[in-house]
A = this chain, B = another copy of it.
């Protein structure tokens, strides 16, 4: 059923995602879909929670800039694949508070898991702001400015974020 949610979101956007269309696409009776999810926001939140349960291991390239670049490349890939479920979910988050909260939880989980890439080179430096400083410009350039995914996009902002850490750390 969650596959049906993803497929419909990509094909028709949030407006096309209803209990009825999910029931039709998944072959599950609409009463069952309704009993489980109540509304579109619940459907989206469950789809995101399922993604959250997929194990994710942060990269370990041997350098902070390498790790941050690898994470940014994963974000670029997720936002530029055609069609992009991530981009569709971000758009949907502006229509559904439940989806917005599920997206927030998903990202915060990832930042918590990725903290190790900062902590192993710069113990004592708060990891989350460095990760956000590295990743946020990629989201901003691709999602809000709708710019192209240039070859250097992932590395450019990883380098700036890594440089800000190196300045205050004894072991860059």
Contact = CB atoms under 8 A, between A and B. Distances in A.
Interface of A: 90-91, 93-94, 100-101, 103-104, 107-108, 129-130, 132-133, 135-137, 139-141, 143-147, 156-157, 159-161, 163-164, 166-168
Given A107-B145, A135-B140, A137-B137, 13 more contacts: A90-B94, A90-B144, A103-B144, A104-B146, A129-B157, A132-B137, A132-B140, A132-B141, A133-B133, A139-B144, A160-B161, A163-B164, A164-B167
B146 A100 contact: yes
A157 B133 contact: yes
- Copies of this chain present in the complex amount to 2
5 contacts: A90-B94, A91-B94, A132-B157, A159-B164, A161-B164
A141 B136 contact: yes
Contacts of A91: 94
Which residue among A94, A104, A146 has the maximum number of chain B CB atoms within 10 Å of its CB? A94
A160 B129 contact: yes
A167 B132 CA distance: 20
A91 B91 CA distance: 8
Contacts of A159: 164
A69 B11 CA distance: 41
